[in-house]
Amino acid sequence: MTEKEQNGHVDHAGKVRDKRRLMLTQVLRSRVLNPAGAEVGRVEDFIVKLAEGGYPPITGLKVRVGAQDVFVGKDLIEKLEPGAVRLNTHTLQTLPFQRRPGEVLLSADVLGRHLVDVARGRIVQAHDLVLAHGEEGWQLQGIDRSPQAMLRRLVPRRGRPDLRRHAILDWRDVQPFVGHVPTAKLLMPLQRLRRLHPAQIADIVEGVSHAEGEEIIKAVEGDVELTADVFEELDPEHQEEFIKARSNEEAARVLDRMAPDDAADLIGHLDQERRLPVLNLMSASQQHKLRKLLQYHPTTAGGIMSPDYVWVDRGSSVAMAIEAVRIDDKSPHQLLNTVFVTEPGGGKFLGSVSLADLLRADVSRKVEELQLIDCSIGAGADFADVVLMMADYNLIALGVVDTAGNLIGAISVDDLMEALVPEDWRNRVEASSGV
């Protein structure tokens, strides 16, 4: 075994890394000593340059010397240890400290702030930061979100941290908010957010400040489909908050990609003078669907339904019905498990059949020969009637008809679950994923 291997350890990638680690709170406000041991200043902050992936290198220190802050580059640092920073020089540049493009101050910009745990889809708070010495110098390697770390942050350098016992999150698994950093110029990276489910992203947006939420929303706006999915998952309060902050053109782009029933609910919350201009900026197809949905009160079957669903004529074969599900690219996923059967041309509702029953049936049979569920509800029915009917018939999807009995939409059990979840349950979920 080499001396390097004895002094270090081998990580999961087989690379030898130095075991020297410090917590940021152990060295903040520490004495800065010259080679003779004389104090020349106090550590005010550590400077890093953030980049996607990897561990950000420490590029220098912000040091208080007399009445001003000066920059001390990493090349002047001989040793970092709890309570002291030792330099390899007797002279320091005394020009006032100024941030440079891309620089982030660990104490001012990261410590004590929210971060996104992109590995687990949650918000965390950096109560302390782990600094580690590697082959290329000191790096930011992780965060400590434990209560003990918060105590150390509030009472610096009190107690020796036990890195083995505390839950340290690897820096590569977290993403800081940097919208408040004037020189960072590094937005929340879309590629990292794409790892999360839209519901996880929405939960994070709902759990942080408006400015932090805006940082996430602006990041996902690089992917219009993802933006629409996130907006669908936001609670009504946050949907309104962020859609009202967008221009008419931006709002139209988001609403155009949302499920029509969700888009109709949201456009109804826009100020009256904005609704028509935003609606007119959408695609003709989405406009048509929304105009129909907006005729109904949001608490009725017509206001809850989706105008996109899978249907076939009564004379269609089982094979044709299965193919209709396969090629459908409009209906919500929750409605792809049910095929509705109508008179030719998508007219009068005759019944519905589950995808499971279709897959079990002879593909050459006509759908009208199967045991159809002859159950639908009028567009004007209230929410309670919808819930009771779907519960009584054990339905995962329910057809909505007009006064003439023509099929005009469908409601999924997912729509009901969303509306039935009590608000205090949502608060419980948010609290369980807190910092």
| Within a domain: 60 | yes
At residue 183, φ and ψ (nearest 5 deg) are -110, 0
Q: Clarify whether residues 163 and 113 are in a common domain.
A: yes
Report the distance separating Cα 32 and Cα 65, nearest Å: 9
| Within a domain: 301 | no
Please state which of the ranges 56-65, 85-94, 312-321, 418-427 shows the lowest mean pLDDT.
418-427
Q: Clarify whether residues 254 and 362 are in a common domain.
A: no
Q: Which of 233, 262, 295 is the last residue of a domain?
A: 295
Q: What is the mean pLDDT of the chain?
A: 86
Q: Clarify whether residues 329 and 410 are in a common domain.
A: yes
For residue 111, give both structure tokens: 């410590």
Q: Which of 245, 271, 295 is the last residue of a domain?
A: 295
| Within a domain: 204 | yes
pLDDT of residue 17: 42
Confidence class of residue 135 from pLDDT cuts 50, 70 and 90? confident
> Which CATH number belongs to the domain containing residue 372 in this structure?
3.10.580.10
- Is pLDDT above 60 for 231? yes
Q: Clarify whether residues 366 and 393 are in a common domain.
A: yes
Q: Clarify whether residues 32 and 171 are in a common domain.
A: yes
Please state which of the ranges 81-90, 269-278, 349-358, 414-423 shows the lowest mean pLDDT.
414-423
Please state which of the ranges 63-72, 183-192, 197-206, 228-237 shows the lowest mean pLDDT.
183-192
- Is pLDDT above 60 for 314? yes
Q: Clarify whether residues 138 and 200 are in a common domain.
A: no
Task: List the Cα angle 136/140/143 in 5-degree steps.
Answer: 150
Q: Clarify whether residues 218 and 319 are in a common domain.
A: no
pLDDT tens digits, 73-98: 999 999 999 999 999 998 888 788 88
| Within a domain: 431 | no
Summarize the confidence of residues 370-392 as an average pLDDT.
94
Q: Clarify whether residues 50 and 154 are in a common domain.
A: yes
Confidence class of residue 7 from pLDDT cuts 50, 70 and 90? very low
Q: Clarify whether residues 135 and 57 are in a common domain.
A: yes
Where in the sequence is the domain holding 290, given as residue range(s)? 190-295
Q: Clarify whether residues 197 and 239 are in a common domain.
A: yes
Assess contact for 104 and 49: CB atoms under 8 A: yes
Please state which of the ranges 128-142, 158-172, 356-370 shows the lowest mean pLDDT.
158-172
| Within a domain: 229 | yes
Please state which of the ranges 15-24, 247-256, 257-266 shows the lowest mean pLDDT.
15-24
| Within a domain: 235 | yes
How many separate domains does the chain show?
A: 3
| Reported pTM | 0.77
Whole-number percent of the chain with pLDDT over 90: 67
Summarize the confidence of residues 128-132 as an average pLDDT.
94
Q: Which of 130, 150, 176 is the last residue of a domain?
A: 176
> Which CATH number belongs to the domain containing residue 265 in this structure?
1.25.60.10
| Within a domain: 435 | no
Confidence class of residue 420 from pLDDT cuts 50, 70 and 90? confident
Report the distance separating Cα 207 and Cα 227, nearest Å: 17
pLDDT tens digits, 355-373: 999 999 999 999 999 999 9
Is 74 buried (19+), middle (13-18) or exposed (0-12) by CB count in 10 A?
Answer: middle
Please state which of the ranges 306-310, 335-339, 345-349 shows the lowest mean pLDDT.
345-349
Report the distance separating Cα 170 and Cα 152, nearest Å: 19
Q: Clarify whether residues 107 and 201 are in a common domain.
A: no
Contacts of 388 (CB under 8 A, 6+ apart): none
| Within a domain: 433 | no
Q: Clarify whether residues 54 and 16 are in a common domain.
A: yes
Confidence class of residue 18 from pLDDT cuts 50, 70 and 90? very low
Assess contact for 241 and 210: CB atoms under 8 A: yes
pLDDT of residue 353: 96
Confidence class of residue 21 from pLDDT cuts 50, 70 and 90? confident
